[in-house]
Amino acid sequence: MPMMLWTNSINQIQLMKILLVCLVMAACSITPYYTNAQSAAPAAKTLNEKEAELVSDLMASNMYQLMLLKLAVANSQSQELRKAVTTMMVDHQRMDARLTTLANQANLGTNSEKRDKYT
Domain membership of residue 97 (yes or no) is yes
Domain membership of residue 14 (yes or no) is yes
pTM, entire model:
0.54
What's the number of domains the chain is made of?
Answer: 1
Question: Who has greater pLDDT, 96 or 14?
Answer: 96
Radius of gyration of the chain (CA): 17
Domain membership of residue 43 (yes or no) is no
Amino acid present at 79: Q
Q: Check pLDDT > 70 for residue 51.
A: yes
Domain membership of residue 41 (yes or no) is no
Q: Helix/strand/coil (H, E, C) string of the chain? A: CHHHHHHHHHHHHHHHHHHHHHHHHHHHCCCCCCCCCCCCCCCCCCCCHHHHHHHHHHHHHHHHHHHHHHHHHHHCCCHHHHHHHHHHHHHHHHHHHHHHHHHHHCCCCCCHHHHHCCC
Full residue range of the structural domain in which residue 92 is found: 2-29+48-116
pLDDT of residue 70: 92
* Confidence label for 33 from pLDDT (cuts 50, 70 and 90): very low
Domain membership of residue 40 (yes or no) is no
Domain membership of residue 59 (yes or no) is yes
Rounded Cα distance between 114 and 56, Å, is 8
Domain membership of residue 37 (yes or no) is no
Percent of the chain with pLDDT over 90: 18
Domain membership of residue 35 (yes or no) is no
